[in-house]
Amino acid sequence: MNPESKPPNPPESFPSSFHNQRILIGITGGIAAYKVCQVISALAKAGAEVRAILTSGAAQFITPLTVATLCRHPAYTDADFWQPTHHRPLHIELGEWAQVLAIAPLTANTLAKLTAGMADNLLTNTVLASRCPVLLAPAANTDMWNQPVTQRNWRQIHADDRYHSLAPGRGILACDRVGSGRMAEPDRILAHLESLLQTQGKRDLRGQRVLISGGGTREYLDPVRFIGNPATGKMGVALAQAALHRGAEVTLVHGPLDRGLLDGIPEVRAIAVTTAAQMQQAMVECFPHADLIVMSAAVADVKPNSYSAQKLPKRSLPEALGLESVPDIIAQLSARKQPHQRLIGFAAQTGDIVTPAREKLQRKNLDAIVANPIDLPAAGFGSDRNQAIVLEAGGRQQAIEPCSKLTLAHRLFDFLAQG
């Protein structure tokens, strides 16, 4: 086998995307503060260096001892801010130390302070003393969140590119109201932190319209039997998430998947399909409006040549199933591609992954292709991790070592940005 045909051998254990990363968590005074404990715990378990600042209001909801235990490091409060126990001012040290800063929950009060550039406690002083990206995850009572002044501050804070946001969702709030104001769930916060660590906060896809296909398709013989594959859609969702976090307007055309996967990307336009023909129709309709198209879906190659509207009895199943080809979606899109558009394919392979991927790259007239193995540990269908070799039509090539699918998506976009 050609040595270039396999990605680097994976280590016995894969470091997480957060391993040795320096993450500062700011916690302000809201009942949603309890959710942040889950974020901190997950980061620490993933090998991150986590520090936390509690405002005086936050300490009314969760204790510094709880946070310190989860961080594996003392938690900071305003009492530490005013103590001359540090060689340098604490807010300067923390601001320079952090690679990314998240404020969760963000109260309307702290939002107003950030918008005005105020610095009257340890957290707001640290924000002003830092240059890293800041992730904001607000939480508030519905009426407080919908106040014109709060909405004005929320719009205004986004004028500063340092700030990245997870807008609150709808749901049952602690005050028993049902409405907007519910803080983003921990999984969304963790995913956005991973993105910010990968991008350092850049939004290099701002103004771009990105179209992604993901998941598998199903070709039915009858209402209960189909030809399919084990694709879960996790790679497509990760690509959509990464593009969204980099500022793109994203459309995801996806086969059947766990709807919970879409909870982390409510801003993405998601189009659900089942068959290859339905995916073809959706992709062809969306294609003219897209600047970057990434085809990560595992589309069926064949389908039964007949369909029964009623479940076939076992005795009626044919001994040899008649098959016919399904539409070649990526070839159709390639034929329609305009000079400003870039079309990226995926090739899931076993064994030699590069040779068939390079052939597909040329035959389908793609701009690049992602060759990923499905026969190696922590890669391929259903896994939360992946690895790949990216090939560009111009000859560039890059191996991506085992990593989370979100990190792989960012490394793909980094690769494309360099072309």
Residue positions annotated with a catalytic role:
175
Is residue 207 exposed (0-12), middle (13-18) or buried (19+ Cβ within 10 Å)?
exposed
Distance, CA of 255 to CA of 282 (rounded, Å): 11
Spatial neighbors of 371 by CB under 8 A, at least 6 apart, are: 347, 349, 353, 354, 356, 357, 388, 389, 390, 391
Select from 340, 365, 406 the least CA-distant residue to 207. Answer: 340
* 248-252 CB contacts, 8 Å cutoff, 24+ apart: 248/205, 248/206, 248/208, 248/209, 248/210, 248/292, 249/208, 249/209, 249/210, 250/209, 250/210, 250/211, 250/212, 251/209, 251/210, 251/211, 251/212, 251/286, 251/290, 252/212, 252/213, 252/214
Residues near 157 by beta carbon (within 8 Å), at least 6 away in sequence: 111, 114, 115, 136, 163, 165
Instruction: For residue 384, give Cα distances in angstroms to 50, 404, 411.
Output: 23, 6, 16
Residues forming beta bridges with residue 293, ordered by sequence position: 211, 343
The phi, psi pair for 411, rounded to 5°, reads -70, -30
SS3 call for 355: helix
Residue 105: cis peptide before it, omega within 30 degrees of 0: yes
What are φ and ψ of residue 402, in 5° steps?
A: -55, 130
d(CA 359, CA 93) in angstroms, rounded, equals: 53
Cα(59)–Cα(76) distance, integer angstroms: 10
